[in-house]
Amino acid sequence: MLAVSGSDTGEEQFKIMDQWKNKASGLEILVANVDTKVRDVNAHTDCTKGLLLNWTLEPERMLKFINNMGSTNQKKQSIFHMLKVADTYHDVIERLSKDIKLLEWMTGVVREICIFELIKSTWHQQFNRYAWMAAYDLKGHDFEYHDPEWCQLGHVFSIVAKLMLHHPEDKDFWVESMPILMELCFHFKDAFDKSDGLECRLSLTPKEMRKSFLPVFKGMKNAWAALDDEQASERREMLQRGLETRAKGHGTVAQDGEKRKAGDGEGGAKKQKTSKLDAILDGTVEK
């Protein structure tokens, strides 16, 4: 194994790379810092497997690494692994949102759901992880990342996103439903057993999905007065405040609530760090 670091001089890096490329050397592993300029290395012929041991702050950069590991004329495809600690939450991938263009009417919760669906597609994630944002707004850190409940809710968000993105003719319905959209999603989730496997429904064509699910959402919206209760109202308010605090760049509702209960007061809450993303980047939390 050889390692190239940013502190190595250009001459030292050249010697290290020359050794590694020499097939007679028996060296099989090269460790390089993300900022190290590894020259004269053809990933298509010199590499068969790559490991990304940390997540950069720019998702586009990670995608570039992966794309560089593939070539149409290579005999054997290179395999690239992106390693993460189990059950940890990498907010950094949400930074893809700055490059996502949505229709002007897609604002607020609609925009967030659709952004996370496009991120899911880009990173081939198991479910729409906007469910984690909802869980975090409601419970703070105290939730299981891969609990079937949140996975199921993520599949519901995928259905909603696909309905909105593929059928602009239904714009008026979704705009009118925006104030209670999250509650509609929770009720939709509760209508299916966790073992039902909503994920398989995502393979329906856009037309089939609209025919199967849009009437369900319309029916729930029409019956909303009967579905609404104190618990739903409290949850809706917490999720809405979470949406607003994200827009302002502040912390989560759950965090603010915990601080108020602890007697910090409004002023104390403002002084403390409330942004989960900031805390993760600073290394003060693991999830």
In the chain, domain spans: 2-82, 91-227
Closest CA to 151 of 97, 195, 99: 195
Q: Can you tell me the mean pLDDT for 194-205? A: 85
Contact between 40 and 67 (Cβ < 8 Å): no
Contact between 113 and 239 (Cβ < 8 Å): no
pLDDT greater than 70 at residue 20? yes
Give the pLDDT confidence score for residue 96 in this predicted structure: 53
Q: pLDDT-based confidence at 165, cuts 50/70/90? A: very high
Give the pLDDT confidence score for residue 36 in this predicted structure: 62
Give the pLDDT confidence score for residue 245 in this predicted structure: 85
Give the pLDDT confidence score for residue 268 in this predicted structure: 37
Q: pLDDT-based confidence at 197, cuts 50/70/90? A: confident
Give the pLDDT confidence score for residue 271 in this predicted structure: 33
Could you tell me which residues come within 8 angstroms of residue 161 by beta carbon, excluding any fewer than 6 positions away? Answer: 113, 114, 116, 117, 118, 128
The secondary structure element, H or E, covering residue 198 is: none
pLDDT greater than 70 at residue 101? yes
Could you tell me which residues come within 8 angstroms of residue 2 by beta carbon, excluding any fewer than 6 positions away? Answer: 16, 19, 20, 27, 29, 30, 31
